[in-house]
A and B are shown apart, each in its own frame.
Chain A
Amino acid sequence: MTYLDHAATTPMIPEAVAAMTEQLARVGNASSLHASGRGARRTAEQSRERLAEALGARPSEVLFTGGGTESDNLAVKGLFWARRDADPRRTRIVVSPAEHHAVLDSVEWLVEHDGAEVTWLDVSPTGEVTTQALAEALGDGTDVAVASVMWANNEIGAVSDLASLAVVAHAVGVPLHTDAVQAVGQVPVDFAASGVDALTMTGHKLGGPMGAGLLVLRRDAECTPLLHGGGQERDVRSGTLDVAAIVGLAVATTRAVADRVERTARVAALRDRLVAGVVARVPDVQLNGPALDAVVAGGPGRLPGNAHLSFPGAEGDALLMLLDAKGIECSTGSACSAGVARPSHVLLATGAEPDRARSSLRFSLGHTSTEADVDAVLDVVGPVVERARRAGLGRRSA
C-alpha cells in the first residue's frame, strides 16, 4: 500500500502508542482529590507543560479539546459571543473562504442563527491571505468580533504569515484565531511570537491520536464555552480529561516539533521528486498553491509534504478511484458527508476555474513516506491519467 494521504491522517509514532497504552491501564480522574486522581492530574499537567513549551505558549494557555473541529468551533463561536456580549456593535466576522469547513460552517452557523455578518477575505491565487487583504476587510474594526485565518491550508499547502496578520488585526483591536492543524510540526509555529489570540491544533496530523486536540488561548482572551459542566480547562471546556490521549498528543507533538527541520527536509525532497516526476510524465499537469520553494516569513511558504495537482481533462474522483485500485491512496480534497466529490472550495477561493478544481488531486507525504512511495506513483500516473481523461471526455458539462 502506498499511503500518500498524510494530511488526512498520519500514522501514530510508536512512542505515542506506547505512552498511551501505558496510561490506558491506569485508573484516575484528573479531577479527583485522592491519590489516583492526583496521579492522573500530574500526568496531564506534565503533558500540558510539554505542549506549551513545544508551541511557545504558557501552560495556562493550553486547553485540551476533542480535536481540530471542536477547537475551531470553540474559537470562532466562543470569541464571537464573548466579544459581541462586551459590545453589541461587534457582529462581523472576517474570515478567509479557503478555511477548513470546521471554521467556515461555524461562521455560517453564526450568520444563520445568531445575527453574525461575514466579510470574506481575498485569497491570493496561490492561497495565502495578505496583510493588505486583512486590513481592508477589517476597516476600523469597531464592528468586528473576530477574524480567523488558517496558518497552513490543508488542500493546497499555502502558508500565511500569521505574525504580520496578527499585527494588522491588533492595530484595530480585533482578536485573531488561526487553524494551525496542518502547520504544527511542518513549519515553525510559536504561539507567543506569532501574537495570535487563539490557535487550533490536533494530534492525529502529527503522529498522535485522533480525538485529541488543543485550543491554545491567550490568558487575556475572553471565550464563551460551548460545553458546560465540570469547569475544567479554565471553565472554557468542561469534560473529564482524556489523560491517555493527552499523553499521546504531548509525546507526538514534542517529537514533531523537535525533529521538524530534519524530517521536513527529507519529506520535501520526496515531494519535489514526486512533482518533477509527474510533470515529466504528464507535461500539462498544473501545480496548485505556492511554488515548491516559496518562502513566507523566513520559513517554508508551502507545506513540505503537499503536492496538489490538476490534470486537465480528467476528473479528480476518477483519478482517485484508478489510483486506489493500484494501491495508491490520495485525496480529492473536499468530499461532502455523502462522499460526493465536490470541486475544491479552496481552489475556487483562489479564483481557479471549476474545471481545474474538479480535476485536482492531493498527494500529501509524511514521516513514513519513502522513495518507493514516489516510485509507485510515477510508475502508474501516466496510464492512469490517460484513462481518466478518456472517461472524462464523455462527461457533458452541465
Chain B
Amino acid sequence: MRLIAAMSGGVDSAVAAALAVEAGHDVTGVHLALSQHRQQLRSGSRGCCSVEDADDARRVADELGIPFYVWDMADRFAEDVVDDFVAEYAAGRTPNPCLRCNEKIKFAAVLDRAQALGFDAVVTGHHARLVDGELRRSVDAAKDQSYVLGVLTRRQLAGALFPLGEMTKERVREIAAERGYAVATKPDSHDICFIPDGDTRGFLDRRLGAAPGPVVDAATGATVGEHQGTHGFTIGQRKGLGVTVGDQRPRYVLGIEPVSRTVTIGTADQAGVDEVLTGTPSWTGPVPELPFPAVVQLRAHGASVPCTVSAREGAAGLRIELHDQQRGVAPGQSAVLYAPDAERGDRVLGQAAVSLAGSRAVAG
C-alpha cells in the first residue's frame, strides 16, 4: 500500500513508520505542524510541536530512506481543536482535545489529503489494535489509546493502520533501540500539546478572561466561596477548589453552570452517578441494536464500567446505565463503549459525548 506515516517525532510513530516500511509498504513520512508559533526546542515531555520534534521525525525518515515533508495544519488545528477546547470549557464542559484531533485532523484533514494525493491510508503510532476493521484495546493496557480513537468511523478506520497494537511500549522502545534511533529513549509525551507549560487553567484564563462566580455547597445551598472562572473546574475535581466547608470532609465538583457561573460542590456520596445521557453517538462499525450490554470508559485512562446502553428518551443520544456508581463523569468527555473480549482485546463499538450524568435514585 501507499501510506502516509504521521510522524510526531516521538518513538511510537517512528517505530510505526519503520514497521510499515519493513512490511514492504511504500511509505512517505509527514510531520504535522500544528502551532503557528513553534518553539525551537522541546520543553520537558510536553507537546510534540517544536522544531526539535520535527527534526527528530525527519532524522528517522532519512534513516529509513523515505520522503519526508511537513504539512502545515496549524489553521485547521486552531479552529477544530484549540477553539473547540476553549468553547467547551466556556460552556462548562470538559473536552478531550486528543480525541478531537484524531476525529478532525489526523483521520480527517490528513487522511483526506493523503487519499486525494494518491495514498491509501495513514499509519500512526497509536497503541490500539486494528484488525479486519475492528478497533480493539492494545495489548499494553497501561498505554492503550483506543479511548481517543473511539470517535473514528468505519470509513476513517478503513484508512488507518496501527502497527503497534500487538506490542508493549517497552517492546516499541526496544525496536527503536535495535534500529539505533535516538528517539528510543525520548520521554513519553503527555498533557496537552498546545499548552506546553502544562498550565491548562492559565491557558484558559488568557483565552477566556476572569469571570468570577459563586461556589455553592450542594447540601445547604449556601455560597461557600468565590472562583475566578468556571473554566478552572471539571466535574469530579477534588483539588484546588479554594474553599473549605465546616466538616472538613473532602468536597468534589458536582456541577458547573456557566451562565450563572455557579460551581456546585458536594461530598463523595453526592458525587456518585450511575446514569449517563449522551449526545448523538458515532459507531466504529455496524450500528448495534438497542438496548445492549457493554462496558464503558468515561475518560482517558478511566476504568471500564459494565453498563447497559439504551435509547435516550426524546433525544438522539444514548442512555447508559452504569452497573457501578462512578465519580467524575464530566459532560464533554466521551463515553466510549466496548464489547469485552479477554482474548483478542475489548472491541470498540463507538462513542458519544456525555451531556448529563446523574443518579437514577435521585432522578427517579
A residues contacting B by CB (< 8 A) are 317-318, 320-322, 324-325, 335, 337-342, 387-388, 390-391, 393-396, 398
Docked Cα-Cα span, A110 to B281, in Å, equals 56
Min C-beta distance of A384 to chain B, whole Å: 10
| Residues of chain A lying within 8 A (CB to CB) of residue B55 | 338
**What are 17 residue pairs bridging A and B, where the CB atoms are less than 8 Å apart in the complex?**
A317-B72, A321-B67, A321-B117, A325-B67, A338-B33, A338-B51, A338-B54, A339-B70, A340-B72, A341-B70, A387-B117, A391-B116, A393-B116, A394-B112, A394-B113, A398-B75, A398-B79
B70 touches A388 (CB 8 A): no
- Inter-chain CB contacts under 8 Å: number: 54
| Residues of chain A lying within 8 A (CB to CB) of residue B70 | 335, 338-341
Q: Per-residue CB proximity of B62-87 to A under 8 Å, as 1/0?
A: 00000101111001101100000000
A324 touches B31 (CB 8 A): no
Docked Cα-Cα span, A324 to B113, in Å, equals 17
B54 touches A388 (CB 8 A): no
| Residues of chain A lying within 8 A (CB to CB) of residue B112 | 394
B58 touches A339 (CB 8 A): yes
| Residues of chain A lying within 8 A (CB to CB) of residue B75 | 398
Known: A321-B67, A324-B67, A325-B67. A341 touches B72 (CB 8 A): yes
Docked Cα-Cα span, A339 to B33, in Å, equals 9
| Residues of chain A lying within 8 A (CB to CB) of residue B71 | 317
Question: In the complex, which residues 86-106 of chain B have their Cβ closer than 8 Å to any Cβ of chain A?
Answer: none
B33 touches A340 (CB 8 A): yes
Docked Cα-Cα span, A119 to B309, in Å, equals 67
User: Is residue B234 within 8 Å, beta carbon to beta carbon, of the partner chain?
Assistant: no
Q: Per-residue CB proximity of B36-58 to A under 8 Å, as 1/0?
A: 00100000000000010011001
Min C-beta distance of B264 to chain A, whole Å: 39
Known: A322-B118, A342-B72. 9 other contacts (CB 8 A): A317-B71, A317-B72, A321-B117, A339-B69, A340-B33, A387-B116, A388-B117, A391-B117, A393-B116
Min C-beta distance of B32 to chain A, whole Å: 10
Query: Which residue of A has the minimal Cβ distance to B80?
Result: A396
Docked Cα-Cα span, A390 to B117, in Å, equals 8
| Residues of chain A lying within 8 A (CB to CB) of residue B116 | 387, 390-391, 393-394
| Residues of chain B lying within 8 A (CB to CB) of residue A317 | 69, 71-72
| Residues of chain A lying within 8 A (CB to CB) of residue B38 | 338
| Residues of chain A lying within 8 A (CB to CB) of residue B69 | 317, 320-321, 339
Docked Cα-Cα span, A202 to B3, in Å, equals 40
User: Is residue B230 within 8 Å, beta carbon to beta carbon, of the partner chain?
Assistant: no
Partner of A321, one of B28, B31, B79: B28
A318 touches B117 (CB 8 A): yes
Q: Per-residue CB proximity of B110-134 to A under 8 Å, as 1/0?
A: 0011001110000000000000000
Query: Which residue of A has the minimal Cβ distance to B50?
Result: A338
Give 3 nearest A-B pairs by CB, closest first.
A398-B75, A391-B116, A339-B70
Min C-beta distance of B84 to chain A, whole Å: 15
Question: In the complex, which residues 164-198 of chain B have their Cβ closer than 8 Å to any Cβ of chain A?
Answer: none
Docked Cα-Cα span, A320 to B71, in Å, equals 12
| Residues of chain A lying within 8 A (CB to CB) of residue B58 | 339
Docked Cα-Cα span, A393 to B115, in Å, equals 12
Docked Cα-Cα span, A325 to B4, in Å, equals 13
Min C-beta distance of B212 to chain A, whole Å: 34
Docked Cα-Cα span, A393 to B116, in Å, equals 9
Min C-beta distance of A107 to chain B, whole Å: 21
B72 touches A337 (CB 8 A): no
Min C-beta distance of B266 to chain A, whole Å: 43
Known: A338-B38, A391-B113. A398 touches B76 (CB 8 A): yes
Query: Which residue of B has the minimal Cβ distance to A318?
Result: B117
| Residues of chain A lying within 8 A (CB to CB) of residue B31 | 338-339
| Residues of chain A lying within 8 A (CB to CB) of residue B28 | 321, 325
Min C-beta distance of B147 to chain A, whole Å: 27
Query: Which residue of A has the minimal Cβ distance to B54?
Result: A338
Min C-beta distance of B159 to chain A, whole Å: 14
Docked Cα-Cα span, A398 to B79, in Å, equals 8
Min C-beta distance of B35 to chain A, whole Å: 10
